Amino acid sequence: MRKMVLVIAVLALAGCGEGKSVDAQKPKTAAVSASAATTAGPQWDLEVRGETTQAVSDLSGWLLEHSFISNVITENGKTRILMGPFSSKAEAEAKQAEVDAALIRAKKQNIQLLVLERPAVQ
């Protein structure tokens, strides 16, 4: 009797996902990335600068540990830590205040946060 109940339960669960397609979710993510790529107007970044260049890995690690997503880029031989892009300067300044408050709580000193306009892509 137990085997029969088990077989019925397995057959019932096997048919639960019928007719649904996982591919239906893929166009949503493609549409979101396409709309993000076509946004017009200036975009803003938040640059995080430490006192020394050696502190780049420590600083980016600290940001990641505190749930701040950042990108480390090398431009003209200089390594930079950028957060963003943000769609408005106000949004970038709000993130700047949030990161600054976290730096103060952690008693981190000699770290600058600069709001920069992202150059237009040609």
- Per-residue pLDDT of 40-81, as tens digits, reads 678 999 999 887 666 788 888 999 999 999 999 998 988 899
Looking at residue 84, its pLDDT comes to 87
User: Taking phi first (over 0 means left), then psi (-120 to 50 degrees means alpha), and beta for anything else, what does residue 41 get?
Assistant: left
Assign 34 a pLDDT band (cuts: 50, 70, 90): very low
Looking at residue 11, its pLDDT comes to 62
Rounded Cα distance, 92 and 43, in Å: 9
At residue 120, φ and ψ (nearest 5 deg) are -70, 140
Rounded Cα distance, 56 and 62, in Å: 10
Looking at residues 100-110, what average pLDDT do you find? 90
Q: Domains in the chain, start-ordered, CATH in brackets? A: 41-118 (3.30.70.120)
Looking at residue 91, its pLDDT comes to 94
Q: Does residue 28 carry a pLDDT above 60? A: no
Q: How far is CA 90 from the centre of its chain?
A: 18
Q: Taking CA 94 as the corner, what is the angle to CA 91 and CA 96, rounded to the nearest 5 degrees?
A: 110
